[in-house]
């Protein structure tokens, strides 16, 4: 755990402000602020990035302390300089965001009052040409959010079996022409391994029908999304992280999640739906004690940015925002109540 370095140069702070436009910033603050309007409140920015959302939350909620988490050391450094003016109200942790329970334990924190997750690739990672996230710039095929560990996109392309590559492109990129693209990749990598993005972009373009190339933007975007998700294990992390964040919330605490494609949004929607649903068995005449919904929705479905924001910040165009508030703690043993009720009614012989 680290505190931000107050001695960083001012141009680093200016750089973070210029390069990072927080998506739906004001709405995220509006949703989380009611839970942070009390002394000692704690909010977790689980995907800190360059700190734009965190800066807005700390400014709007002067009683709140921030725990900022990011797996990218460069992002942590920039965000730390940006947030240095908030002093000891900021604690930073180098971790993947499914490690929320361990981060809080290490800091001696029990429950928290707010959690924000801004999923996907950050502005920093997109803009750094040597990171390999952007298909518009020729760069090394890396795509790791933490470049100190794990396999790169080039490793995936050059070593994975064809069947695994097809699955990745279909499942994570929703790419209709996955088999055709992978066949070309396997053929080409035999002659010369893939190292940079331009060659992959050209291969994809050559193996997608012309009619498809004329609509929907760059045909490489789906393959690049799929590779990025695989390299960083994004969906597996998210499936662990959202329940962990929900469990970390105190009663009255709120969580807001920004997703950028249907695969992420589906996971968030499913976890939230489980939390806002009663667990009383269907057909029972009363709500059993301990079975009432543990959360309530704060958004109707997924909210999206308005036209003005997407015009100013095109990266916001695919954003989907969902939020819930904790109403009560999860009961320790609800199953025992169900069995007892059924036995009373003669519906369970044991």
Which whole-number Å values give the CA distances from 324 to 62, 73, 245, 316, in the listed order?
22, 30, 11, 21
* Domain match, 154 and 226 both: yes
Phi, psi at residue 304, to the nearest 5°? -125, 160
Instruction: Say whether both 173 and 227 belong to one domain.
Output: yes
pLDDT in tens, 235-264: 999 999 999 999 999 999 999 999 999 999
Identify whether residues 48 and 85 lie together within a single domain: yes
This prediction has a pTM of 0.83
Q: Is 63 a known ligand-binding residue?
A: no
In this structure, are 140 and 209 located in the same domain?
A: yes
- Is 100 in the same domain as 149? no
* pLDDT tens-digit readout, 66-87: 999 999 888 899 999 999 999 9
Query: In residues, how long is the chain?
Result: 350
Q: Domain for residue 69, yes or no?
A: yes
Q: What is the mean pLDDT of residues 133-153?
A: 85
Same domain, 104 and 246: yes
Asked if residue 53 belongs to a known ligand binding site, the reply is yes
β-bridge pairing 249-259 and 65-70: unpaired
Pair 21, 42 in one domain: yes
Is residue 139, in this structure, part of any structural domain at all?
A: yes
**What's the domain count of the chain?**
2
Which residues constitute the domain of residue 217?
129-232
In this structure, the answer to whether residues 241 and 227 fall within a common structural domain is: no
Same domain, 138 and 211: yes
pLDDT at 335: 40
Q: Are residues 98 and 29 in the same domain?
A: yes
pLDDT tens digit sequence for 214-228:
666 788 989 999 999
339 part of a folded domain: no
Dist CA 202 CA 213 (whole Å): 12
Q: Is 51 annotated as a binding residue?
A: yes
CA–CA distance, 191 with 202 (Å, rounded to integer): 16
Q: Is 247 a known ligand-binding residue?
A: no
Is 118 annotated to bind a ligand? Reply is yes
- Same-domain status, 177 and 254: no
Q: 17 a known binding residue?
A: no
Are residues 162 and 223 both part of a single domain? yes
Query: Is residue 347 assigned to a domain?
Result: no
Does residue 3 fall inside a structural domain?
no
* 70 annotated among ligand-binding-site residues: yes
């Amino acid at each position: 755990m680290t505190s931000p370095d107050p001695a960083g140069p001012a141009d680093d702070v200016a750089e973070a402000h210029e390069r990072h436009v927080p998506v739906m910033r004001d709405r995220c603050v509006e949703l989380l602020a009611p839970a942070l309007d009390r002394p000692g409140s704690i909010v977790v920015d689980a995907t800190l990035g360059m700190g734009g959302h965190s800066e807005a939350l700390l400014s709007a909620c002067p009683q709140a302390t921030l725990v900022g988490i990011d797996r990218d050391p460069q992002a942590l450094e920039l965000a730390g300089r940006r947030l240095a003016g908030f002093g000891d109200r900021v604690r930073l942790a180098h971790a993947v965001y499914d490690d929320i329970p361990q981060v809080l334990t290490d800091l001696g924190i029990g429950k928290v009052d707010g959690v924000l997750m801004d999923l996907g690739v950050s502005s920093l990672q997109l803009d750094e040409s040597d990171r390999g996230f952007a298909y518009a710039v020729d760069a090394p095929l890396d795509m790791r959010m933490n470049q100190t560990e794990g396999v790169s996109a080039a490793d995936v392309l050059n070593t994975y079996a064809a069947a695994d590559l097809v699955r990745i492109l279909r499942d994570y990129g929703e790419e209709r022409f996955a088999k055709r693209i992978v066949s070309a990749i396997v053929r080409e990598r035999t002659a010369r391994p893939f190292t940079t993005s331009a060659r992959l972009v050209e291969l994809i373009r050559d193996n997608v029908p012309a009619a498809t190339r004329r609509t929907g933007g760059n045909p490489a975007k789906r393959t690049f999304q799929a590779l990025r998700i695989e390299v960083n294990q994004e969906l597996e992390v998210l499936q662990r992280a959202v329940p962990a964040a929900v469990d970390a919330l105190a009663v009255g605490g709120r969580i807001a999640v920004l997703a950028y494609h249907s695969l992420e949004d589906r996971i968030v929607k499913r976890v939230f739906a489980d939390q806002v649903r009663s667990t009383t068995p269907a057909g029972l005449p009363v709500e059993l004690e301990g079975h009432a919904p543990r959360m309530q929705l704060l958004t109707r479905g997924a909210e999206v940015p308005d036209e003005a924001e997407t015009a100013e910040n095109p990266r916001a165009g695919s954003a989907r925002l969902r939020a819930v508030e904790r109403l009560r703690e999860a009961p320790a043993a609800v199953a025992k109540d169900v069995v007892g009720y059924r036995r009373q009614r003669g519906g369970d012989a044991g």
